[in-house]
Amino acid sequence: MLKMFEYLLFKKNQSLERGFTLIELLVVTIIIGILSAISMPNLLAQIGKARETEASSQLGTVGRSQQAYHFETKTFAPDMNSLGQNVAVVNGYYNFPNPTIATASIVKHQAIVNAPYDVSSRNFAVGVYFNSGEYTSVLCRAIAPTSPVTAPDTSTDPCNNSGTKIQ
């Protein structure tokens, strides 16, 4: 009987000793902190890439709308409002100003990042060209977040300001 009582007392003391020590909790917290510090730059880079993809997609929409406008009027639209309600460029991360040039044969648009240091997003530019009854377009991306970029004067020229030709 005494043996049984000692066994139950030992078992009770043993059950009170369950749980984590302060050192174990600190080690786990430090490991989680290190892993999040390592993964945070990758997460921010992916956010920047997603915003860049959205901006280039919207510039593509503007370029196609300019082609449709030119097909009807034989000249490119001088401002974004002329393209109609089909082109609603709403983006909190990029600014889409009116074209820098719009003639019967060429139009150039830009997507300028609002806060380049925020997520390392780069500027974009698109040029739409009409030559001999054929439409061509060029999409350019800046080489760095703070670098400007403009579309070339012809579809065969390289992008201005050392930009990278995407299309």
Average pLDDT over residues 81-98: 78
How far apart CA 152 and CA 106 sit, in angstroms, is: 10
For residue 7, what pLDDT band results from cuts at 50, 70 and 90?
low
8-49 per-position pLDDT tens digit: 666 655 555 678 899 999 999 999 999 999 998 888 788 888
Domains, the chain, with CATH or none: 21-165 (3.30.700)
In tens, the pLDDT along 51-72 reads 888 888 999 989 999 999 999 9
More confident residue, 150 or 18: 150
Q: What is the pLDDT of residue 13?
A: 56
Specify the range with the lowest mean pLDDT, choosing from 7-21, 71-85, 111-125: 7-21
Cα–Cα distance measured from residue 49 to residue 55, given in angstroms and rounded to the nearest whole number: 10
Phi and psi dihedrals of 5, rounded to 5?
-65, -45
Q: What DSSP string describes the chain?
A: -HHHHHHHHHHHHHHHT-S--HHHHHHHHHHHHHHHHHHHHHHHHHHHHHHHHHHHHHHHHHHHHHHHHHHHHSS--SSGGGG-TT-----SSEE-PPPSEE-SSEEEEEEEES-HHHH----EEEEEEEETTEEEEEEEE-SSTT---B--SSTTSPPBTTPEE--
Q: Which of 89-93, 117-121, 129-133 has the lowest mean pLDDT?
A: 117-121
- What confidence score (pLDDT) does residue 1 get? 60
**pTM for this prediction:** 0.73
What angle is formed at CA 126 by the lines to CA 122 and CA 132, rounded to 5 degrees?
A: 160
- Average predicted confidence (pLDDT) for the chain: 85
